[in-house]
Amino acid sequence: MGSPLKACLWLYLVRRVAGIAGMTCTSTTPLVWKIQQGQRFAYIAGIYNLPESKAPPLEGGSMAEALSCCDIAYFPTGCSLADKSNVTGVGNYMAHCDYYPVTREKDTIAERLLSTQVVRLKEALQNLSTYAQAECRASANEFLSSVADLNSSTYRITLLTAFRRGMSSINPLWCTDAGTASMETFLRQRWGQRKPIFGLEDVSVECQAFQGNTVAEDQELATFMIDHFNEPWLSQMAKYQENMEQVMKCGDLDVLTTVAEGIKDLPLSSERNLQYRNNNLAWGVQKAMDANQDKNIFFAIPVTHLVDAAGRTGVLSQLTKAGLNPVRQTPAVAAAERCQACQNVLLREELAGMPQMTECLHVRGSRCCGFRPLPQAARAGPTVCATSKDPLSADGRFELPDLSIWPVAATELHSVREAVRADPGEGRRSAIRAYTGSTARRKG
């Protein structure tokens, strides 16, 4: 497990990017849930396809704690689909998913739709530019140029891909940020390369979502686009995307429920593309928990798959039914857990005389659970971070926080506590002997 002291750095990073201009939250509750199983735990973080600058991990500590304290991570796919580097990027592999397989008898939009549908569809697509918000008009026009040959017998992009690209071109959260890092990419980068990342689904599931339509389903989709690509509907879809910024920044599940209800009839919200994946992801979480019983796990799951909405049963409900009981981390719960963990970590590091505790001080202006550097005159031995309950108080005496996580008998705890209060110097040595001795017994 990575050093828990990295939580200090995490809190700084999270707060540094947390502000979103023009957005006011009446309350902020991170989209983070925790599963506790004895001494080990798992965190489930809700993510969404938003630019990093508009939907960073929420401030408040739960996301930072999850990223810092977990041993392994599971994202929807093991490798990032945004990685399109020349050789290793799985995003390059996924490019073929945007096309109809050549093995299909009808492998172009022109062959799969009625000729009258193709004409009306091209007319409907023009409305994307006409009714796009001003800042999205350029990206909408760029999309229209890419589908100019939609009626050609050589245009093999799937209709579902064309639908997704068209909607993305008028998405006010992305239309001016194309090519920037997404929230998922941000989390992967912050997780780093020293701890492994696995996938809850095979990349083929994502591929099938865009290649899986039958001819009849494509004809239904074309009719849907013809009927709905008008000013009221396109404006409402843009508004829903803007609302997702509020969902992610404020943790507002009421707004998410409203959005989910409004988009439930979209092609990508179908039973196949939503409930089926909800079931897949919930099954993946359970299997990951079973396979890694000695590890703490971080799960990053699209928030639209987590909650019950629009008649779909979300991952969280399925996990609760399976007995895993994920609990949402409110600011109060998260702060209490984080402070207790931070106190215990700092104390153990100080008693063991480990100088790497200075890592906590590297982030200037940050606050690790309210910890602050002690004045130089008050330090004795290794540098520590101090709280309102300073492990090393201003007069050089120890105040021991909760030591319940130590593998030390209750009689030893009482002895250590009394020794510290009587004589700071000797007390420190007694504490070290008690800790190292009990650790040796446990290993033996």
* 6-53 per-position pLDDT tens digit: 333 333 233 333 333 346 676 678 889 999 998 899 999 999 988 887
What span, in angstroms and rounded, lies between the C-alpha atoms of 199 and 352? 38
Percent share of the chain, pLDDT over 90:
37
Residue 184 sits in the same domain as residue 314:
yes
What span, in angstroms and rounded, lies between the C-alpha atoms of 25 and 41? 29
pLDDT > 70? residue 212 = yes
Six-digit token string for 75: 């994202």
What is the rounded average pLDDT of the residues 351-375?
Answer: 38
Kindly state whether residue 83 falls inside one of the protein's structural domains. Answer: yes
> Among residues 282, 314, 329, which one ends one of the domains?
329
Candidate from 174-178, 246-250, 302-306, 366-370 with smallest mean pLDDT: 366-370
pLDDT top residue among 348 and 245: 245
What is the rounded average pLDDT of the residues 71-92?
Answer: 78
> What's the pTM value of the predicted model, to 2 decimals?
0.70
- At 393 the pLDDT is 35
> Among residues 310, 329, 348, which one ends one of the domains?
329
Kindly state whether residue 421 falls inside one of the protein's structural domains. Answer: yes
Kindly state whether residue 100 falls inside one of the protein's structural domains. Answer: no
* Exposure string for 272-309, b = 16+ CB within 10 A, e = fewer: ebbbebbebbbebbeebbeebeebbbbbbbbbbbbbbb
DSSP 58: P
Residue 393 sits in the same domain as residue 282:
no
pLDDT band for position 68 (cuts 50, 70, 90): confident
By residue range, what is the domain housing residue 370? 333-443
pLDDT > 90? residue 295 = yes
pLDDT > 50? residue 361 = no
pLDDT band for position 218 (cuts 50, 70, 90): very high
pLDDT top residue among 99 and 68: 99
pLDDT band for position 200 (cuts 50, 70, 90): very high
> Among residues 294, 329, 364, which one ends one of the domains?
329
Average pLDDT, the chain: 73
pLDDT > 70? residue 60 = no
User: Dihedral angle at the C-alpha atoms of 354, 355, 357, 359, nearest 10 degrees?
Assistant: -140
Candidate from 247-251, 267-271, 322-326 with smallest mean pLDDT: 267-271
Percent share of the chain, pLDDT over 70:
64
Residue 323 sits in the same domain as residue 343:
no
Kindly state whether residue 192 falls inside one of the protein's structural domains. Answer: yes
CA 311 distance to own-chain centroid: 24
Contact 97, 198 (CB under 8 A): no
pLDDT band for position 228 (cuts 50, 70, 90): very high
Candidate from 24-33, 219-228, 283-292, 304-313 with smallest mean pLDDT: 24-33
